[in-house]
Structure 1
Amino acid sequence: MNIKVINIPLFKQKALQWAAKFDTACYLDSNNFTDPYGKFDTLIAVGKKAEITANTGNAFEQLEKFREDNPGFIFGFFGYDLKNEIEDLQSSNHYGLNFPDLYFFAPEIIISIKGNAVEITGADADIVFKTIERLELSTVYNANELDLKSRFTRPEYIDTVNRIKDHINRGDIYVTNFCQEFYAEHAKIDPLLIYQNLNGLSPTPFSAFVKWDGNYIICASPERFLAKRGDKLISQPIKGTARRDADLETDQNIIKQLRNHPKELQENVMIVDLVRNDLTHSAKPGTVKTEELFGIQSFKQVHQMVSTVVCEIRDDVTPVQALKNTFPMGSMTGAPKVSAMQLMEQYERSKRGVYSGAFGYFSPDSDFDFNVVIRTILYNSSNKYLSFQVGSAITYHANAAQEYEECLLKAKAILEVLGQQEIDTAKRI
């Protein structure tokens, strides 16, 4: 069923509220960012005809079979710790969320929005549309109950970054992404309201609200991990962050500084090289290329340096294999990739789980699109554990105190929607 809708913003609000009532649902919103590789402005999936939950071992193999059995749309995530299945690695850090390493579902109803065109597939499309149109937007919400803590104090974070830099000086690694967790136990939040506020405060092209079995992913990601469009694979790693400023001239100067900052350029080009190498495992020989290097994308909270790397996929590589061949994404690991991941398991104090993983979809035409799960609140409503992590690239030129401030800059929107203007970093385990 295809419908033209005059007031798309209002329809999206109602559709989100309608979707959030299902036990299993996801809402993906590009927030009208211009994207040559985006197929949809908004994509909504609810209900489940089938699902798969898997942990490290043979998760990718199980997903391959699930994909064969469900050739239509499927939605889900890859947790970062699937790295242990791909490489000889392990994860033994604390993990309060208890999410699986992989989860996908085949939805009962799909709503796609492009421009003012709405397409509904599955069930009785006419009834679905009328139900959404008649919905009265709710203004009732529950206040957050949070005691937010950090796994690192500021001095501990700075000391750890300096120890990581010792490894760089010795040549063990060139660049890494060091992450820290902020968390709350016995947490009570209104996940839908939190997402609406976060998406309003920090609209991004890979925003997502995901719900399954009482678990939530509340995501304001600006980054694409990997997409497939026909025979083309596209990866767009982000490395390089700078604040926004209300004064236009100052804001433009910040962009210039970001574009010419040695440390930011260094970390971006290192990850581009890593992504190029990852793509060779799926690419037709000679097709890997960098379409754009050091591009600047501006979001409501920050400016980001984004590069675009593409290739043509080999005929013998399945979509699931293409994702496995590049996972985890280079922007969240470092280089050399395996050495960086090993070191971060040593220095980080939390298992990353879904954070640093990817959420997205496979479509019926064998295309796919997956984001990088960053700028994201994760919530298990059963054990009332809330978590978000932030990371920063550590290179030879990194200043530990500045990297800590960059982490707080990345967390700014999340802290605001959680009603936490500041983090007391003395509160930790």
Structure 2
Amino acid sequence: MRTIISKKLENPEQIKNQLLHWSQQFREVVLLDSNNYPSKYSSFDFIVAIDAFTAIKTDFHNAFEDLQQYQQQTKDWLFGYLSYDLKNDTEDLQSSNFDGLGFPDLFFFQPKKLFLLKGNELEIHYLFLCDDELETDFLDIQNNCNPESSHEKPQIQQRISRDDYLAKTHTMLEHIHRGDIYEANFCMEFYAENASINPIDIYQKLNNISKPPLATFFKNNHHYLLCASPERYLRKEGNKVISQPIKGTAKRYSDAILDENSKKELAANPKERSENIMIVDLVRNDLSHTALKGSVEVEELCEIFSFEQVHQMISTVTSKVENSTSPIEIIRTTFPMGSMTGAPKISAMKIIEELEETKRGLYSGAVGYFTPVGDFDFNVVIRSILYNAQNQYLSFSVGSAITSEAIPEQEYEECLLKAKAMFEVLN
């Protein structure tokens, strides 16, 4: 059982910063920030889970079965991630590309200390509370000051050159024209070796530039994720399941007229709409595996949402499930998310593996949480920097959807647009 105490805050934004810095004394940290982005599908503005009481770490073999057993045994809050390569658990697939990061394929933990912020009310949930530990911790949090930080500018390299990217995109188009696939998300990695960065500093800069609704700071010992994701993979509220795939990106402008024109052009762009609708169809099919008959609906189709860096085309697909349906089964039958794979999904993933040169790992996976009653919420790990502090390897990847109408040079430019924020904070 958890001890739960509520605190009324005068300055919620200040406590966010203090919690981030205070949490770094612990081995395991998951921080989730909505950046106050308006959303009807959001339970909390800000969450911090720290210090594992129990944990599960595994490769892809039987990963979903192991996670289901862990979730059913604990029946508590669980925080962690699903890497893209869990696809190998559900399908006859493999991941044999280069991996400089070395993250486990799956990691979740049951936090001893949990902080849930909504408006100006902070709920604090502690396992096994000792004496006045909670009040002492809260005082330490409030007195926490930001230490000075610095990092060396990493020497960022590109895993796939521009010429190779164009050639590989042409190969992807050949697959499409042959009818092997209709669409595939093709990604490339930027990386730095011998990188020495301050993860908190980089995360805060990345988050301030983007202010996304599904930002994440993740730490597991020497593994870090600094994530400014605008995309929700999957959420469960009671017997309702929600997926919000993104397909379609346009640049933002400081000039209001240019910015509005960019938004309108994205909304009307036939290629972007086609990409989005293909993935909506894929998501509808994925959700149908666990949905009650006739319950899969498209609540929003190709709506435009504006973020600090870009405009995005987002659709919202929902379904209803039986109360007895396992939350892990809902995830297993929809993972990896359609927006980061393609259609048909399995064929697209096989071609992606052949053409990409880096194991995706946590990139294009998902970070999130389960509640004690089996609800959950997970983002899509994009617009993110991954860092292994032990071997000092830093990585971020970007991608775009290739369809029959794709122009390789324009797809390359879209990748650079998506990488802009990561370059900016690192340089």
TM range (shorter): over 0.9
Is it true that 1:60 corresponds to 2:64 in the alignment?
Answer: yes
Name which of 20, 30, 33 aligns with 1:29: 33
**How much does 1:343 deviate?**
0.3
Amino acid at match of 2:27: D
Mapped to 2, the partners of 1:155 and 1:136 lie a distance apart of 47
Matches within 5 A, 1:213-362: 213-362=221-370
Mapped to 2, the partners of 1:302 and 1:361 lie a distance apart of 27
In the other structure, the counterpart of 1:133 is 142
**How much does 1:316 deviate?**
4.0
In the other structure, the counterpart of 2:90 is 86
Matches within 5 A, 1:406-421: 406-419=414-427
Amino acid at match of 2:161: T
Over the matched positions of the two proteins, sequence identity in percent amounts to 50
8 Å Cα contact 2:153-2:426 kept in structure 1: no
**How much does 1:26 deviate?**
1.2
**How much does 1:144 deviate?**
2.4
Name which of 177, 190, 201 aligns with 2:185: 177
Q: Secondary structure at the match of 1:293?
A: strand
Amino acid at match of 1:80: Y
Amino acid at match of 1:177: N
Amino acid at match of 2:118: K
Name which of 181, 186, 205 aligns with 1:197: 205
Mapped to 1, the partners of 2:77 and 2:252 lie a distance apart of 37
Mean Cα displacement is larger for which, 307-316 or 197-206? 307-316
Mapped to 2, the partners of 1:253 and 1:269 lie a distance apart of 22
In the other structure, the counterpart of 2:123 is 119
Amino acid at match of 1:61: E
- Structure 1: stretches of 5+ with no match in the other structure: 420-429
**How much does 1:273 deviate?**
0.2
Q: Secondary structure at the match of 1:66?
A: helix
Q: Secondary structure at the match of 1:49?
A: strand
8 Å Cα contact 1:19-1:26 kept in structure 2: no
In the other structure, the counterpart of 1:396 is 404
Matches within 5 A, 1:12-51: 12-51=16-55
Name which of 161, 168, 175 aligns with 1:153: 161
TM-score by length of 1: 0.96
Is it true that 1:167 corresponds to 2:175 in the alignment?
Answer: yes
Mapped to 1, the partners of 2:289 and 2:98 lie a distance apart of 32
Q: Secondary structure at the match of 2:381?
A: coil
1:149-187 Cα shifts (integer Å, max 9, x gaps): 111111111111111101111111000000001111111
Amino acid at match of 2:424: E
Mapped to 2, the partners of 1:273 and 1:127 lie a distance apart of 52
Is it true that 1:405 corresponds to 2:413 in the alignment?
Answer: yes
Mean Cα displacement is larger for which, 218-227 or 116-125? 116-125
Mapped to 2, the partners of 1:137 and 1:117 lie a distance apart of 23
**How much does 1:305 deviate?**
0.2
Q: Secondary structure at the match of 1:33?
A: coil
Is it true that 1:366 corresponds to 2:366 in the alignment?
Answer: no
1:35-55 Cα shifts (integer Å, max 9, x gaps): 111000000011010011011
Mapped to 2, the partners of 1:243 and 1:21 lie a distance apart of 39
- Structure 2: stretches of 5+ with no match in the other structure: none
Q: Secondary structure at the match of 1:296?
A: strand
Mapped to 2, the partners of 1:3 and 1:317 lie a distance apart of 35
Deviant stretches of 4+, over 3 Å: none
**How much does 1:365 deviate?**
2.2
8 Å Cα contact 1:29-1:205 kept in structure 2: yes
Amino acid at match of 2:115: I
8 Å Cα contact 2:369-2:378 kept in structure 1: yes
8 Å Cα contact 1:177-1:393 kept in structure 2: yes
Q: Secondary structure at the match of 2:260?
A: helix
Q: Secondary structure at the match of 1:108?
A: strand
8 Å Cα contact 1:57-1:85 kept in structure 2: yes
**How much does 1:127 deviate?**
1.9
